[in-house]
Amino acid sequence: MDIPYYFLQMGICLLIMIFIFLYIYFTRNFNHWKNKNVSYIKPFPFLGSIYNGILMRHCMGEIFSDIYFKTVRPFIGFFVLDKPCLLLRNPQIIKRILINDFQYFYDRNILNNKRDDPIATHVLFILKNPEWKEVRSKITPIFTSSKIKVMSKLMENVAEEMVHYLNKKIQHNAIIEIKDICLKFIVDVISTTAFGVNAYSFKNENSEFNTIAKTLLDWDNILNSFRIRCYILTPKIAKLFKMCFLNPYCTRVLKKRFLEIMDSRTISKINRNDLIDILLRMKENKQFTDEDAVVAQAVTFFVAGSETTSSTMGFALYEIAHHPDIQRRLRTEIGNAAQQHEGINFDSVREMPYLDMCVKEVLRKYPVIPFLERKCNNNYKIPETDVVIERGTPVFISVLGLHYDPQYFPNPEVFDPERFSKNNEDQIEKFVYLPFGDGPRNCIGARFGIVSAKLGLAYIISNFIVDICEDTQDKIKFNPNGLVLSSIKGISLKLRKI
């Protein structure tokens, strides 16, 4: 026999054997939900049930929303690669998972990669129990209503800078990329309120903090998207390839900058009672003995706050531009409240119920965090069923699906702030409106984000007429690479000075 031909045959046989082995390995769990008599999305070998999400054809929020609407049952099974997962639909079961039976679901599925990512391993969103509980209790005091009221004075200064910047901007071009403006605003807000420094985003287009925020939140960067996707959906792959949760360069720069700020604060002995002061006290009291643990809290606040709040403001202005009647009503309310409280401030914003209704409806239609995830820590029998969720099983909740379910929100595609009027809000079923999650692991910075977003919106609406233009999308299309909801084309609007 010809020797090269023999080796070719052997090579082909070996490849076939490897393929068969991998096929058996990646399909070994595919009867998991069938054996439990649970309806499920049929998986494809090697990719599972959400291959469009794995291949980044649709954003993950839309993927889970599609699964949500494939059944009317309380829950449905699916697979991420070969891993059995469960998506919950029933509000009563969701309540149990997030609150009543939290002791079974206190961790998220997301990877905590202590070996390869020493900063991200201390991020509150990623931390596992009991470390998560300890860190959260230490960070919570910065988000009290009284602390945020003090911070709001600094937010007002940033909002005034934003208005000044926009006045100059529209002299040259009335068409504005509004998401970029909102990101500048919230980056400056976070920098001044939490870290005691001015990021100067409106004075310098290439300011350090603003550039880092854009880089970290750039969903068009495939590596950014793939890395975070793996951390949440396929932790084993992230660990195998030693991935970092966030862009390594950005985290190094932020670490260096935050440590410089903390050293400067220690020398000056100035007490601003902000996040830096709280972290310094924790460090002095040896509550945080690891330098990376201290930096991680600052990085978390910077990254999470920048994306969620700027997107909420951008989506709000997009809807307001499409609904002039809503915009006029808002402007009237803002003007009246400002007269009573000597300007747009923390107190006057609290006296703007229609603005509150509008923001809530924005968060319904565009929940920036479009899904929640937990991991089952111990075998859990779903009440009133025979189904046992086995230890280690990821459990998902489609916030986007719930928010667009006509059973709970009639005509869900319509932007209607009246859903959240005083009379109507009480009629909304509990645990179907979850823009910040719920239970012990809900969003710790929700109150801060809402106040800053309302202040920013109030300043813009009171100073400018916001209108659509030829570049404005008829309907927002979400970036398929994103884990959060973000517009794939940006949000272009026309601003006119009042």
Predicted TM-score of the model (pTM): 0.94
The average pLDDT across 419-447 equals 95
* Vertex 77: Cα angle to 72 and 83 (nearest 5): 160
pLDDT tier for residue 128 given thresholds of 50, 70 and 90: very high
The average pLDDT across 431-459 equals 96
The average pLDDT across 172-182 equals 92
Joined tokens for residue 259: 């440590």
For residue range 250-301, list pLDDT tens digits in order: 888 888 998 898 899 989 888 877 788 878 888 888 777 778 888 888 888 8
Predicted confidence at residue 24, as pLDDT, reads 86
Predicted confidence at residue 51, as pLDDT, reads 82
The average pLDDT across 19-42 equals 91
The average pLDDT across 380-389 equals 96
Measured CA to CA, the distance from residue 88 to residue 139 in angstroms comes to 30
Predicted confidence at residue 12, as pLDDT, reads 85
Predicted confidence at residue 353, as pLDDT, reads 98
CATH entry, 48-497, from 1.10.630.10, 1.10.10.60, 1.20.1440.120, 1.10.3230.20: 1.10.630.10
Predicted confidence at residue 106, as pLDDT, reads 96
- Contacts of 90 by beta carbon, 8 Å cutoff, 6+ apart: 74, 75
Least confident of 123-132, 146-155, 290-299: 290-299
pLDDT tier for residue 2 given thresholds of 50, 70 and 90: low
The average pLDDT across 441-466 equals 96
Predicted confidence at residue 219, as pLDDT, reads 84
Least confident of 218-222, 354-358, 393-397: 218-222
Joined tokens for residue 58: 């649709």
Joined tokens for residue 370: 């479009």
Predicted confidence at residue 95, as pLDDT, reads 98
Predicted confidence at residue 236, as pLDDT, reads 87
Residue tagged 């400067």 (tokens): 264
For residue range 190-212, list pLDDT tens digits in order: 999 888 889 999 998 888 999 99
For residue range 302-361, list pLDDT tens digits in order: 888 888 999 999 999 999 999 999 999 999 999 999 999 999 999 999 999 999 999 999
Inter-residue contact 110 to 235 (CB < 8 Å): yes
The average pLDDT across 463-479 equals 94
Measured CA to CA, the distance from residue 480 to residue 110 in angstroms comes to 20
The average pLDDT across 142-163 equals 92
Predicted confidence at residue 159, as pLDDT, reads 97
Q: Residue 495's beta-bridge partner residues?
A: 466
Measured CA to CA, the distance from residue 287 to residue 280 in angstroms comes to 10
**CA 279 centroid distance within chain:** 23
Residue tagged 């000075």 (tokens): 497
454 compared with 216, residue with greater pLDDT: 454
The average pLDDT across 240-245 equals 89
What are the CA-CA distances from residue 292 to residues 117, 141, 209, 284, 305 (Å)? 10, 21, 19, 15, 20
The average pLDDT across 182-192 equals 95
Q: Which helix (H) or strand (E) holds 302?
A: helix 291-322
Q: How many helices (DSSP H) and strands (DSSP E) are in the chain? A: 20, 9
Predicted confidence at residue 26, as pLDDT, reads 83
Joined tokens for residue 151: 């911070």
The residue ranges of every structural domain in the chain are 48-497
Predicted confidence at residue 3, as pLDDT, reads 60
Measured CA to CA, the distance from residue 449 to residue 190 in angstroms comes to 10
Predicted confidence at residue 94, as pLDDT, reads 98
For residue range 372-383, list pLDDT tens digits in order: 999 999 999 999
Predicted confidence at residue 381, as pLDDT, reads 97
Inter-residue contact 116 to 241 (CB < 8 Å): no
Please determine, for residue 1, whether its predicted confidence score (pLDDT) is greater than 60.
no
pLDDT tier for residue 172 given thresholds of 50, 70 and 90: confident
Inter-residue contact 45 to 23 (CB < 8 Å): yes
Measured CA to CA, the distance from residue 189 to residue 158 in angstroms comes to 6
Residue type, 13: C
Share of the chain above pLDDT 70, in %: 99
The average pLDDT across 476-493 equals 90
Average pLDDT value for the chain: 92
